[in-house]
Chains A and B, each alone.
Chain A
Amino acid sequence: MDTFWEETIFQPLQELGRQAVASLSSLLGMVILIFLGLGVGWLAKELVCRALRLLRFDRLCDTLGVSQEIERLGIVRPCSYVAGQVVQGMIILTALLAGLNAMRSPWTQNLVERFFVYVPHLLAALVILVVGALVSRFLGRSVLIAAVNARMPSARLLSALARIFVMTLAVVATLDELGIGRTTIIVTFAILFGGLVTAGAIAFGLGARDLARDLLNSQFRPGPKPEVEDTLRHL
């Protein structure tokens, strides 16, 4: 009888208790890790912000055009603050993942494992996107200034095209890095570009010949040749 009680009642209850204690300790570990992450994250944010401000990081970002890009995203904060926030976010995320890992369930462990495998791709994608945005901005401005100085009526259009082209490349590369619709994107991109070139060729050669000529005339043809050529010696 005693054996029966022990096997059917006490042992399962003891097992349940052990599991509850183990789960509670894991949960407690997770909570501690998260709180630790929040604290360390806040501290790291403060340190990073102050260090970057001392190193005149905001001015560097202004020069490189990073501030303006961030502003365009609707974030009206200095770059040092944004960098601090990013560091804080990463630390909290890491703590959260470590906490989940502490739960020791196969599902959370699998999630954490997959996340850490994905992190390098995520960072690389972020870098590609940021560099792409900076290059597109720089190139766009170069084209704009050069086109205005060359008196091209379509300066803004050319500049926008340059920016769009670079950003498209950057987005394609980013998505490729993230492994999102890799084949689809490359095929779409190739079709789009191929299509554009083909459409252009057809427009020149066939149906829209006149339209293409008029459009190009209006956009790219410099104004009528001036009667008087400048012979200024500027220096």
Chain B
Amino acid sequence: MSEEILKERVKTELSDMGPVDILVGIPSYNNAATIGHVVQAAQAGLLRYFPNQRALIVNSDGGSKDGTPDVVEKSRLDTQALLISHTLHAVNRLTTPYHGIPGKGSAFRTIFQIAAEVGARACAVVDSDLRSITPEWFDLLLRPVLDRNFDYVAPYYKRHKYDGTITNSIVYPLTRALYGRRLRQPIGGEFGFSGRLALHFLARDVWTTDVARYGIDIWMTTTAIAENFRVCQSYLGAKIHDAKDPGADLSAMLTQVVGSVFSLMETYQDAWRNVLGSLPAPLFGFPFEVGLEPLPINIPRMVASFVQGCRDLRPVYEQILSPTLVSQLASCAAQPTESFCLPDELWVAVIYEYALAYRHHVIDREHLVKSLTPLYLGWVASFARLTENESALQVDERIERLCMVYEQLKSYLITRWPLGTPKER
């Protein structure tokens, strides 16, 4: 496999370097503006917290046109200013283009392959557009692997109450209810993992699927939980990164994320069918408070989208959802905007019936997930209206209640989920 995805030059460089204890992977595509800061943070983190370990930073680039690899090569760290001294090993750096389907997953595959080549014991991957990353992040992502034998470290961020609404409304509660582990940011983007798990990821036959394109984060998290690797979380503070494409289509985003979660439900049906309830995952790091920028939100517009969806997409919903749910959604749509509310029970039932419809191929899967957009906006509007004057703690409690509803209604999903051969993803 290594012959296929690693260039000879890279293999030669790796063999010259010799074995490595820690590997930090940074996937990139046109991130020249931010990647220098990320590389410096990684270098500082590795020198400060792991001075006796042999470390390597790998930039797996998707063919950037803005000189991202040059920035990586040229970024230098002022160790004097950071009061770093007495390091046994210098931190090596390597930039390589990845091969395969364009996407973050293919970039990760190259990182896993390099980790396997150099025999890394612990790895961390971080996004290249981060602005709030600090050297401590690497300690928090790598230490649980090196010192506590965890296999997978998921991030735990402090986020604004309206930040990460797909995560809050679907991905976190659904993953938690399905697989029984409470990982608050399953698609966070920054992860730590053991060399053993990297080899496991690498051996899976998923690199020509959507995992290679966009589904890598949720795939890694789900694989780690469903296949019983030791998982934990590390508190990283606030996550501030370059705004993704501002015109990014919400329905495309939903298709990618929710479609990946639904698809993994098929793969791991044997892992979740017998799970009831959930267990907390250990949390490392000091949960300090951070200042979060307020996020403006337009509730009437979202309610209008929901109302239009319930009206115009009714024939589609009638194919996907049970008549009771369709009529309940219509009742919700009839509410005045000022008192608009989409009850948690209704929302969770909608998600479960969507998962079942996805499983049964009721309609084209892309159509199916895209048709969820107005309903999702309805949930966001309802959530935003209810939490308008609530503190972060109260919002957390509200999300916790939503998670409990997901867990309580899981039997509904289990009884309707058809038994069949799980597919490799």
Contacts and interface: CB of A to CB of B under 8 A. Distances in A.
A binds B: yes
B165 interface: yes
A71 to B, nearest CB: 11
Interface of B is mostly: helix
A138 B370 CA distance: 14
B311 to A, nearest CB: 9
B361 interface: yes
A231 B360 CA distance: 35
Contact of B370 (A145, A155, A230): A145
A232 B361 contact: no
Interface string B304-348: 110011001100100100000000000000000000000000000
B251 A234 contact: no
B371 A234 contact: no
B253 A151 contact: no
B360 to A, nearest CB: 8
Most buried by B among A59, A147, A148: A148
Contacts of A144: 312-313, 316
A223 interface: yes
B364 interface: yes
B380 interface: yes
B164 A235 contact: yes
Contacts of B361: 59, 62-63
B392 interface: no
Nearest to B251: A149
A141 interface: yes
Contact of A226 (B166, B249, B301): B301
A156 interface: yes
Contact of A228 (B243, B296, B305): B296
A232 B316 contact: no
A174 B257 CA distance: 41
A62 B362 contact: yes
Contacts of A233: 163-164, 243-244, 295
A147 B187 CA distance: 29
Contacts of B297: 228, 230-232
A142 B251 CA distance: 12
Contacts, number: 94
B7 interface: no
A149 B370 contact: yes
A65 interface: yes
Contact of A63 (B163, B363, B371, B373): B363
A98 to B, nearest CB: 41
A148 B164 contact: no
A62 B320 CA distance: 12
Interface residues on B, range: 35 or more
B301 to A, nearest CB: 5
Contact of B367 (A142, A156, A228): A142
Interface string B110-126: 00000000000000000
B252 to A, nearest CB: 9
A15 interface: no
Contact of A138 (B187, B304, B364): B364
B250 interface: yes
Interface string B71-115: 000000000000000000000000000000000000000000000
B166 A234 contact: yes
A1 to B, nearest CB: 89
B167 interface: yes
Contact of A235 (B167, B298, B364, B380): B167
A229 interface: yes
B162 interface: yes
Contacts of B316: 141, 144-145
Contacts of B302: 230
A180 B166 CA distance: 54
Contacts of A149: 249-251, 305, 370, 373-374
Given A145-B370, A145-B371, A148-B374, A234 B165 contact: yes
Contacts of B300: 226
Interface in A202-235: 223, 226-235
Contacts of B253: 234-235
A65 B367 CA distance: 12
A156 B314 CA distance: 11
A165 B301 CA distance: 32
B296 A145 contact: no
B301 A234 contact: no
Contacts of A156: 312
Contacts of A151: 301, 304-305, 308
Given A59-B360, A229-B296, 19 more contacts: A63-B361, A68-B319, A138-B364, A144-B312, A145-B251, A148-B312, A148-B373, A151-B305, A156-B312, A223-B304, A226-B300, A230-B301, A231-B297, A232-B162, A232-B165, A233-B243, A234-B167, A234-B253, A235-B164
9 contacts: A65-B363, A144-B316, A145-B367, A148-B312, A149-B305, A228-B296, A232-B380, A233-B244, A234-B254
What are the 8 tightest A-B residue pairs by CB atom distance, in nearest-first order? A63-B361, A234-B166, A228-B298, A149-B251, A149-B373, A155-B312, A228-B296, A226-B298
